[in-house]
């Protein structure tokens, strides 16, 4: 059985995609992913959660990426444009990062406002 972190998310969904087993995602990041799921009423795919240093390098991530700390998730909401997701997170006052990409939205809980990208 999977280690449930919230109503709709299990720990394995946030694990490093390289297979190293890193899975120390923050409770606050999971909480925001759940809020997105609840608001849009649609499945949320976690494209990237925690990353080990090696996988972060392979992915071209910043050496200071929030993914390394387990405080970030790149998400795609089924049937919802990433712009709508980013706009909603912004309206909710997420105190963290919101990255706007064509096919997904980055959210993180770094504790201070950071915004980038266009969509």
Residue 97 forms part of a structural domain? yes
Task: Give the predicted TM-score (pTM) of the model.
Answer: 0.95
Residue 41 forms part of a structural domain? yes
Structural domain tally of the chain?
1
Output the pLDDT for position 82: 98
115 phi and psi angles, rounded to 5 deg: -135, 140
Residues in Cβ contact with 18 at an 8 Å cutoff, skipping those fewer than 6 apart: 51, 52, 54, 55, 58
Domain that holds residue 22: 11-117
Residue 5 forms part of a structural domain? no
Q: Between the CA of residue 58 and those of 45, 52, 71, 77, 107, what are the distances in Å?
A: 21, 10, 19, 25, 20
pLDDT band at 8 (very low <50, low <70, confident <90, very high): very high
- Report the CATH number at residue 23: 3.30.1380.10
Planar angle of CA 76, 19, 74, nearest 5 degrees = 20
Summarize the confidence of residues 56-73 as an average pLDDT.
Answer: 97
């Amino acid at each position: 059985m999977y280690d449930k972190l919230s109503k709709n998310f299990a720990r394995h969904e946030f694990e490093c995609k390289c297979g190293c087993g890193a899975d120390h995602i923050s409770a606050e990041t999971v909480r925001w992913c759940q809020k997105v799921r609840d608001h849009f009423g649609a499945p949320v795919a976690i494209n990237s959660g925690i990353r080990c240093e090696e996988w972060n390098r392979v992915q071209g991530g910043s050496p200071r990426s929030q993914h390394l700390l387990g405080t970030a998730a790149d998400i795609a909401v089924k049937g919802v444009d990433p712009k709508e997701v980013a706009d909603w997170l912004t309206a909710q006052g997420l105190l963290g990062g919101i990255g706007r990409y064509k096919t997904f939205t980055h959210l993180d809980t770094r504790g201070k406002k950071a915004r980038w990208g266009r969509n």
